[in-house]
């Protein structure tokens, strides 16, 4: 658990981060979202002390982060950034081995971990381990950057706009991969982005920041249905908030018992996708299928629309 | 030749120009100059006059063939082969002329390559360099080529091929001094370079970290760079002389107002700017994301510098070192003016005696050293840059 207590950063007289308190539960994804200059990156960088706070403190599993030297603290916290920051003069395997080497793992353990991570990130160890970063595509580089951040099995992973440099299709895949990896390793992730869709897609909880303050910190659905502030409402997007709300729920979660003669949809699809599918097909109900094609229930247009209603 | 070029295809403009210059040099300028001794003016002789008839004809035929290749063939490899064959032919003809024109047992006559010979060598050298540039050999191939050229030159000297040419006559007369001067020359150039790198790289790192320091340091070093070398020697004479007089240990270490000490100090000062500036540029060029990621993953400042920043800046820093190496090898020549020794001693002695061959004895090895240094460091830089973009 990460407890941020009354954390501030002032440069001269201006507070870039102003008395922020929030708690990040274990095994969850927290997204800090805001416009540029809102202080979101500074807040993130104070967690691993790349920026030293002017006031307040950060507790990592109850322990003040200032209890140990900053570089020792950072070796326990994964860190991935926009443009991935891979070392161009080191191979993919050497890049991933960075932190394990710093903390003195033996060579066999490092090699096993590198191979495991390359497999998890769908990169063939034999083909990619010895390559240099410039020989990889943008999406592959980004995956290596995240693999490197996870190399020493950190309980916490900080990510600063990690998908900012990717094109939309690769970005969607990278987001899905990140969620799969989060579930696999149970990592606590704090991710900074300016993209509200990304925040809703990834975040178990979303913190909206503006001018150094956290305006609202809650589940995405609450941000949409009960915005605490006009700024949050505007950032969440009032025009399509019903559709955003639908995109937070999967067909599997919303399915009701019963047979359906309409088109089949996957349980992992969002209600927004199911609604679109039904509109396109001109049907009023869909059959929800599990990963192995088993029947899980049905979804009607009326039931989906009810979920998009304010307070629904 | 133009007709032959037309028959072979489109005319290579550089090749045509070089062939024209070569033809003028061959037909219109003396190939060798035969002087009764090292100072008196001599007789200018054409190749035909200097060599037995069949040798001159064979050489002329070969050079004509080289000219045809230069004008009409586009592929770099045959052009390079032709240029090298031409250089070998001209050099061997000059050596043969030296042998033919030197009466047995006479150590006073000087057979010097003439303007035509030099111009032919320059034209062929340009042809070879152009072909090499188009062939784009890798670093290893360039070093192998350099080693091959050096090996052939060493074989020719060991065999005594050029012993009857004037420069080698000067060498024979100064052999013991030459070896010492060459050692001294390399020592002065490399010593000041090593000292400068030891100071300039940390200074460059400091300038990178403290932008306020940067402007002042670079401006100061720029100012040093504008002082003419001879003036700097003069400026250094006073403090170094005073130091030697005041501190016996300094004098015992060989520090004096003239000699090697001011030469090394001056070369050291000239070396600082390129290395400091390139260190600053090289560090600034390192991707900020890489440094940020390195710090974020828990590398200490020193680990980031050693493991990330310096390796990534190294090609640019080496480019600065390459500039300094070539610059120093040339500048050491002037150190002879204040008794610093080195190959410059022959240059200034030759100027004093109007013995151009003695000047060449100092100048040719200096150029060869600088050239070899540049090739070696360029190859090293390119090897390092292959995997870093």
Mean pLDDT of all residues in A234-260: 81
| Record: contact A85-B312, CB cut-off 8 A | no
Distance from CA of A166 to the nearest CA of B (A): 16
Q: Which two tokens stand for residue B293?
A: 């990621």
Mean pLDDT of all residues in B232-249: 83
Q: Which of B101, B123, B112, B103 is nearest to B38 (CA)?
A: B112
| Record: contact B298-A73, CB cut-off 8 A | yes
Q: Which of A2, A23, A77, A29 is nearest to A179 (CA)?
A: A29
Mean pLDDT of chain B: 89
Mean pLDDT of all residues in A9-22: 92
DSSP B329-354: HHHHHHHGGGT--STHHHHHHHHHTT
- Interface with chain A: mutation pick from B293, B301, B310, highest number of A CBs within 10 Å: B293
Q: Which residues of B touch A (CB under 8 A)?
A: 287, 289-300, 303, 308, 311-312, 387-389
Q: Answer for the pair A275, A262: CB distance below 8 angstroms, yes or no.
A: no
Which of A83, A89, A98 has its CB closest to that of B312?
A: A89
A132 touches chain B (CB under 8 A): yes
A93 touches chain B (CB under 8 A): no
A72 touches chain B (CB under 8 A): yes
Q: Which two tokens stand for residue A248?
A: 């937070």
Query: What digits encode the pLDDT tens for the residues B158-192?
Result: 898 898 888 898 898 888 999 999 999 999 999 99
Query: How confident is residue B3, by pLDDT bands cut at 50, 70 and 90?
Result: very low
Coil, strand or helix at B62: helix
Query: How confident is residue B201, by pLDDT bands cut at 50, 70 and 90?
Result: very high
Distance from CA of B151 to the nearest CA of A (A): 35
What's the pTM? 0.81
A71 touches chain B (CB under 8 A): yes
| Record: contact A74-B389, CB cut-off 8 A | no
CA B253, B256, B258, B264 dihedral sign is positive
Q: What is the ipTM of this complex?
A: 0.84
Chain B CB contacts of A132 under 8 Å are: 387
What pLDDT was estimated at residue B288?
92
Choice between B239 and B124, residue whose per-residue pLDDT is larger = B124
Query: What digits encode the pLDDT tens for the residues B307-335?
Result: 999 999 999 999 999 999 999 999 999 88
What pLDDT was estimated at residue B163?
87
What pLDDT was estimated at residue B9?
60
Distance from CA of A50 to the nearest CA of B (A): 7
Give the lowest-confidence range in A9-23, A192-206, A227-241, B71-85.
A227-241
Tokens 């990534």, residue located: B312
Distance from CA of B289 to the nearest CA of A (A): 4
| Record: contact B289-A79, CB cut-off 8 A | no
Coil, strand or helix at A144: helix
Query: How confident is residue A24, by pLDDT bands cut at 50, 70 and 90?
Result: very high
What pLDDT was estimated at residue A238?
66
Which of B287, B299, B311 has its CB closest to that of A71?
A: B299
Q: Which two tokens stand for residue B242?
A: 């005073």
| Record: contact B293-A82, CB cut-off 8 A | no
Give the lowest-confidence range in A34-48, A238-252, B107-121, B136-150.
A238-252
| Record: contact B293-A86, CB cut-off 8 A | yes
pLDDT at residue A239 greater than cutoff 80: no
CA A243, A245, A246, A247 dihedral sign is positive
Mean pLDDT of all residues in A27-45: 94
Query: What digits encode the pLDDT tens for the residues A92-133?
Result: 999 999 999 999 999 999 999 999 999 999 999 889 999 999
Listed in sequence order, the residues at least 6 apart from A152 whose beta carbon sits closer than 8 Å to its beta carbon are A75, A76, A78, A99, A100, A103, A105
Task: Please state, for a pLDDT cut of 70, what percent of chain A lies above it.
Answer: 98
List, in sequence order, every beta strand (DSSP E) within chain A: 2-11, 14-24, 29-34, 55-60, 63-64, 77-81, 156-160, 188-193, 205-210, 213-218, 264-266, 285-289, 295-300
What pLDDT was estimated at residue B386?
73
What pLDDT was estimated at residue B387?
58
């Amino acid at each position: 658990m990460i407890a941020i207590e009354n954390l501030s950063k002032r440069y001269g007289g201006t507070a870039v981060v102003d008395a922020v308190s929030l708690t990040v539960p274990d095994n969850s994804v927290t997204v800090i979202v805001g416009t540029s200059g809102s202080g979101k990156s500074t807040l993130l960088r104070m967690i691993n002390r790349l920026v030293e706070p002017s006031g307040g403190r950060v507790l990592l599993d109850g322990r003040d982060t200032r209890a140990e030297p900053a570089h020792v603290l950072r070796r326990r916290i994964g860190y991935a950034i926009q443009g991935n920051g891979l070392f161009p003069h080191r191979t993919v395997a050497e890049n991933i081995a960075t932190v394990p080497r710093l903390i003195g793992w033996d060579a066999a353990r490092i090699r096993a971990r590198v191979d495991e991570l390359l497999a998890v990130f769908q990169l063939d160890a034999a083909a990619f381990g010895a390559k240099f970063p410039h020989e990889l595509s943008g999406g592959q580089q980004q995956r290596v950057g995240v693999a490197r951040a996870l190399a020493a099995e950190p309980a916490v992973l900080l990510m600063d706009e990690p998908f900012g440099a990717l094109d939309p299709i690769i970005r969607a895949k990278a987001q899905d991969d990140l969620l799969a990896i989060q579930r696999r390793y149970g990592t606590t992730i704090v991710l900074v982005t300016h993209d509200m869709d990304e925040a809703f897609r990834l975040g178990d909880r979303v913190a909206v920041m503006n001018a150094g303050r956290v305006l609202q910190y809650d589940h995405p659905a609450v941000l949409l249905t009960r915005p605490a502030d006009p700024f949050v409402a505007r950032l969440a997007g009032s025009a399509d908030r019903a559709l955003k709300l639908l995109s937070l729920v999967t067909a599997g979660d919303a399915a009701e018992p019963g047979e359906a003669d309409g088109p089949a949809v996957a349980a992992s699809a969002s209600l927004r996708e199911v609604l679109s599918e039904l509109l396109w097909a001109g049907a009023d109900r869909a059959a929800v299928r599990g990963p192995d094609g088993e029947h899980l229930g049905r979804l009607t247009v009326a039931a989906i629309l009810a979920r998009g209603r304010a307070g629904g | 030749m133009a007709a032959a070029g037309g028959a072979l295809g489109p005319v290579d403009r550089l090749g045509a120009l070089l062939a024209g210059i070569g033809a003028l040099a061959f037909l219109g300028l003396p190939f060798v100059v035969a002087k009764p001794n090292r100072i008196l003016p001599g007789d200018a002789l054409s190749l035909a006059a200097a060599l037995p008839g069949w040798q001159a004809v064979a050489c002329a035929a070969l050079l004509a063939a080289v000219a045809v290749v230069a004008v009409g063939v586009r592929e770099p490899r045959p052009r390079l082969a032709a240029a090298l064959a031409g250089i070998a032919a001209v050099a061997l003809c000059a050596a043969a002329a030296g042998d033919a024109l030197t009466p047995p047992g006479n150590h006073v006559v000087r057979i010097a390559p003439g303007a035509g010979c030099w111009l032919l060598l320059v034209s062929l050298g340009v042809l070879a360099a152009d072909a090499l540039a188009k062939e784009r050999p890798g670093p290893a191939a360039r070093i192998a080529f350099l080693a091959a050229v050096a090996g052939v030159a060493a074989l020719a000297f060991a065999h005594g091929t050029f012993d009857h040419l004037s420069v080698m006559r000067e060498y024979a007369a100064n052999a013991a001094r030459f070896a010492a001067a060459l050692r001294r020359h390399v020592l002065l150039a490399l010593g000041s370079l090593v000292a400068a790198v030891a100071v300039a790289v940390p200074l460059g790192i400091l300038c990178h970290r403290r932008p306020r320091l940067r402007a002042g340091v670079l401006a100061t070093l720029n100012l040093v760079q504008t002082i003419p070398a001879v003036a700097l020697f003069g400026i250094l004479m006073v403090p170094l002389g005073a130091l030697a007089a005041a501190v016996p240990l300094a004098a015992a270490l060989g520090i004096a107002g003239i000699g090697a000490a001011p030469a090394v100090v001056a070369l050291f000062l000239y070396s600082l700017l390129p290395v400091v500036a390139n260190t600053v540029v090289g560090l600034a060029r390192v991707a900020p994301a890489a440094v940020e990621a390195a710090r974020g993953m828990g590398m200490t400042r020193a680990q980031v510098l050693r493991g990330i920043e310096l390796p990534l800046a190294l090609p640019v820093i080496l480019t600065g070192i390459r500039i300094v190496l070539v610059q120093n090898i040339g500048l050491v020549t002037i150190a002879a003016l204040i008794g610093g020794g080195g190959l410059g001693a022959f240059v200034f002695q030759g100027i004093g005696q109007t013995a151009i061959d003695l000047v060449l004895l100092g100048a040719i090895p200096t150029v060869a050293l600088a050239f070899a240094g540049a090739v070696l460091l360029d190859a090293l830089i390119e090897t390092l840059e292959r995997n870093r973009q």
